[in-house]
């Protein structure tokens, strides 16, 4: 597989362009794996992964965690409910917000998919040693913080 034709379009100093391309490449690979092995969309995976990792949450919490569109989260929640992987219950403290929880079938799919995703991440990072991974992670965190708070 080759890199996208536009990888070098703006030169090596245009890191945001390369990050965007890499993120899209990884999303495509993720979508293909999730669809092929589990019949899930990327949005459905994100919903399932969030509630299985963090615990019961509202659709707004899930959308906020992934910077996702409300309609996309809503469609994913509906499909996961229809598939018997999650349930949605009324929130006792706030009647306008429903709480989404994983059912055993959803937890089982999450556990299998998480293992597969972990193996994939190890595969794509195999050529990068731990100090370089730590440095990359630190650099990405710093970039994210500047994006979130450009005034600091």
102-132 pLDDT tens trace: 999 999 999 999 999 999 999 999 999 999 9
Residues spanned by the domain of 65: 15-148
List, for residues 30-76, the tens digit of each pLDDT value. Answer: 999 999 999 999 999 999 999 999 999 999 899 999 888 889 999 99
Structure-token pair, residue 130: 């731990």
In whole angstroms, what is the distance from residue 137 CA to residue 142 CA?
A: 9
How many angstroms separate the CA atoms of 88 and 79, rounded? 12
Judge whether 2 lies within some domain: no
Count how many domains the chain has: 1
> Is-contact 57 100, C-beta < 8 A?
yes
pTM (2 d.p.) = 0.81
Q: Is residue 8 part of a domain?
A: no
**CATH number for 110:** 1.10.10.10
Asked, for residue 38, whether it belongs to a domain, the answer is: yes
């Amino acid at each position: 597989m080759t890199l996208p034709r536009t990888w070098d379009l703006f030169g090596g100093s245009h890191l945001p362009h390369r990050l965007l391309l890499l993120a899209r490449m990884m999303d495509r690979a993720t979508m293909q794996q999730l669809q092929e092995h589990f019949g899930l969309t990327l949005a459905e995976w994100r919903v399932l992964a969030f509630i299985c990792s963090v615990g019961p949450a509202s659709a707004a919490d899930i959308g906020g965690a992934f910077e996702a569109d409300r309609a996309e989260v809503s469609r994913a929640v509906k499909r996961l409910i229809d598939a018997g992987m999650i349930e949605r219950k009324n929130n006792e403290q706030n009647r306008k917000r429903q709480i989404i929880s994983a059912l055993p079938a959803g937890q089982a799919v999450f556990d299998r998919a998480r293992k597969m995703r972990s193996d994939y991440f190890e595969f794509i990072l195999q050529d990068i040693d731990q100090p370089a991974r730590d440095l990359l992670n630190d650099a990405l965190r710093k970039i994210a913080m500047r994006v979130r708070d450009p005034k600091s």
